[in-house]
Structure 1
Amino acid sequence: MWLQLVPGIVSCIIFTCTPESPKYYLSVGKPDKAYAVLEKCCRSSKGKDVTLKSLGIDSLRPPETYALETTKTGCARVWEETKPIFTPPILKPMMLITVTLFLLFATGFGLTVWIPRALKWGNDIHKELILCDMIDEAHAKNITFTESPCHLSMRTLHASIYLGACAILFSVLITVLFVWTHRKIILLLMASLSVAGGLMLNFVKIHELVIVGCVFLTVPALSSIRLALSVLIDAIPTHLRSKAVSLATMFGRVGVLVASMYVGYTLSWNCFVTFNMFVVFMTGVILLVSLLPFDGRTGSRTAL
């Protein structure tokens, strides 16, 4: 169990040693620090004898950027630095992506943790029923996980393995699609697949198709989170990106807690309401993504 702390500890060490980007320093009016970081990168990549001056770069000139001038400290200063996120024209993409992330996290993480248990209940029934009927019958027969967490069989882990493998495949698919089309189209496609998967669970009875429906409901949402964050990063000025991404991700993680508790309280009460609510969530994602602004980086109205 303690081994799970190792990646986090290693990440903290790496982040501590990683310098801030020169672009950020320029955006907040600190060209000297930007020059120092760029000088260090130059020496690391081209050798210790190579300097920016030897390449003809004597200084860095910051562009016209937002500069915060305040005497406030502590929480008051943090609020002053964060407040521009909630002003036009940044407010619209910030709110759209934040709500989108809330729904994606809720479906991709909050529901996913319950899918293996739901499929296990259905697998113990040994009947061709739709997922909710299998869960209701499992509850009626008081079927629960009888295996010790320390002695799980491969059969019990099948659903988790399928979900993990499909998450990798969908991530690769999104990467390939990103070469050929735009982020907005990919997000709409992934959300549509989730809606289709959720609707499948209302009528498919073959166990393999039930698994497919669960995968399509949860995995596209899970795989779309980073893509949605990239849209937010491009929509927010450099000096506000870290705060915007942190806030949006925080609300996304709140979605995980809300969704997990929602499933826990409603699954035994009305399974159809439980799963179809996530269909509503992903339909909401489709509507929100369709409202995202166009990306003008190529000089044309190209969708994000």
Structure 2
Amino acid sequence: MPVMDVDTALQTIGYGFGQVIIFIVCFFTYMYSVSEAMSVSYIVVLTSCEFATTAGEKTLLANSLLGGMVASGLFVGMLADKYGRKFTLRLALIGALGFSMLSALMPNLYALSITRMIVGLFLSAVASLQVAFLTEFHTPKWRPLAVTLCSQSQSMALIYCPLVAMAILPHHFTVTLSSQFDMRPWRFLMMAVEIPGWIALVGICLVPETPYFLLSINNGEKAILALKWICRKNRKNWEDFDIILAENERATVVPEGFFSSFLYDSFRLFRKPYFTKFFICLMLIFGLFFNSVGMGIWFPVIRNMDNSVSLRLCDLIKRNPQFASSKEKLVNGTETEVPPTCHDVMTNLIDPIYYGFSYMGCYILSTILLQCLLRKYVIATHIIVAFVLGLGLNVVKQPTMLLISYTLMITLPGVLIPLSTSVLIDFLPTHLRGKAICLVRSIARFGALLGSTLVGMLLKVSCDLTLNIFILYLAVCIVLALLLPE
């Protein structure tokens, strides 16, 4: 019987219900990570009066979870490559869900921000490793399609959040736990967005570790058991296949210590033969996060007002109470900053639903285009359209066209994040994939953090300048997309 690698073994077994189960688990895992990240868009508004937040405090709260994801992302990949994708995902889900529940009970802004940052420390693994877990149960020819379809969980999360908000927020109920602490509806909203995460946690406990990882640590017996699980779920008999796995050339577990191994493998990514491809992917994904997440996380806040008047986007933002400038008044002959009147009601939950549906439509479009074009041309096409629409935001005033242009400028790059990540998986060996994905995602989330800070702090100072900074990086991303390996 000929020996074969995992790709050939999976191809021999074929696609079936086993991969569907993995797909569903990864779907809810990614849906939870997006729901958790996007819920802060609503919390920023809903806590404005209770915590009397300034523009800087709003930005702190909006960035706290992203900050935690940046901090932990560098080491999550090492854990995944050393202890396994399943182990790390399960641990991360437990930590993220636990601290998310705790954060909903925090009594003030700074305690809430700190616990949200801790949630981000765990959520980094949830958001990054589900791609590796999903793809390592699929052969290379299935991966782009599987990743794109699973990414529809992002659009489902973006629709799920405003729908839950519509169900909870209008009731204006309060649960009194003590004389000094009331549970307002926004706290229950934070708990409700965790539901996909609990489903994902149950699912991840019921599926095996990936055969790629098991073989990478020279555990061929368990790799065979994982393949047998897939075969059994696919309603096929293992005995009908003559599968003998080839030994892996390099095990993930190396004799060096944890940090020595981490530094060694991380530096390998910046050397030949990986450096050029890795750097292009890194800067591209950085730009996608900078634009789609950095600005997208503020989408419900920016659209939370009357948008029916015919004004440019920046003129509308000047009228938005969340971005209103502080006024100065004289107190004993001294100018003192007076914060604008607080506004803590979500008056527009329809546009965020449109935002979610736009992701769904763009994912369907990218799936169709993948059947006709090379992956890098699909990526480049999306970014070119986003760039043109972004330029149009400088002049467009018609309300519907403005909503479409603004939404697609953020959405089109956002749908490319999983697809661009799959490029990394294809040209890197198994023992470097987890570290590479998490290293790239961590640096890219710093781009999201930078973009979010620009919106929170600079948008009210110079909206036109802020908007065109995002548009300029889209132009850079077009060039990077065309340089991707085929």
> Which residue of 2 is the match for residue 61 of structure 1?
246
> Which residue of 1 is the match for residue 302 of structure 2?
118
Asked if structure 2 preserves the Cα contact closer than 8 Å seen for 1:196 and 1:216, the reply is no
Shift of residue 161 of structure 1? 1.9
**Residue 268 (structure 1) aligned to one of 460, 466, 474:** 460
**Residue 79 (structure 1) aligned to one of 240, 243, 263:** 263
Cα deviation 1:186-244 (Å, max 9, x = unaligned): 11111111111110111112122211220221110111111111112112122221221
**Residue 351 (structure 2) aligned to one of 152, 155, 159:** 159
Shift of residue 33 of structure 1? 3.0
| Partner AA of 2:270 in structure 1 | F
3-state SS of paired residue (1:66):
coil
> Which residue of 1 is the match for residue 424 of structure 2?
232
Shift of residue 36 of structure 1? 3.1
> Which residue of 1 is the match for residue 275 of structure 2?
91
Cα deviation 1:261-297 (Å, max 9, x = unaligned): 111111111111111111011111111112222xxxx
With structure 1 as the length reference, what TM-score do the two structures score?
Answer: 0.82
Q: How many Å separate the matches in 2 of 1:16 and 1:78?
A: 27
Shift of residue 71 of structure 1? 2.4
- Aligned identity (percent) is 27
Shift of residue 158 of structure 1? 2.7
Unaligned runs of 5+ in 2: 1-189, 328-339
With structure 2 as the length reference, what TM-score do the two structures score?
Answer: 0.53
Q: What does 1:193-204 align with in structure 2 at a 5 Å threshold?
A: 193-204=385-396
Q: How many Å separate the matches in 2 of 1:224 and 1:254?
A: 17
**Residue 134 (structure 1) aligned to one of 308, 316, 324:** 316
Asked if structure 1 preserves the Cα contact closer than 8 Å seen for 2:292 and 2:410, the reply is yes
Q: How many Å separate the matches in 2 of 1:70 and 1:140?
A: 56
Q: How many Å separate the matches in 1 of 2:394 and 2:235?
A: 60
Q: When the two structures are aligned, how many residues end up with a matched partner? A: 283
Asked if structure 2 preserves the Cα contact closer than 8 Å seen for 1:122 and 1:135, the reply is no
Asked if structure 2 preserves the Cα contact closer than 8 Å seen for 1:115 and 1:214, the reply is no
Residue 170 to residue 132, structure 1, CA distance change in 2 (3 Å): same
User: Once structures 1 and 2 are overlaid, which stretch shifts more, 133-142 or 21-30?
Assistant: 133-142
| Partner AA of 2:264 in structure 1 | E
Q: How many Å separate the matches in 2 of 1:120 and 1:89?
A: 48
Asked if structure 1 preserves the Cα contact closer than 8 Å seen for 2:216 and 2:252, the reply is no
Q: What does 1:181-220 align with in structure 2 at a 5 Å threshold?
A: 181-220=373-412
**Residue 435 (structure 2) aligned to one of 243, 257, 279:** 243
Q: How many Å separate the matches in 2 of 1:178 and 1:196?
A: 22
> Which residue of 2 is the match for residue 298 of structure 1?
none
Q: How many Å separate the matches in 2 of 1:40 and 1:205?
A: 56
**Residue 10 (structure 1) aligned to one of 193, 199, 217:** 199
Unaligned runs of 5+ in 1: 294-303
Residue 203 to residue 73, structure 1, CA distance change in 2 (3 Å): same
> Which residue of 2 is the match for residue 34 of structure 1?
223
User: Once structures 1 and 2 are overlaid, which stretch shifts more, 236-245 or 3-12?
Assistant: 3-12
Shift of residue 46 of structure 1? 4.4
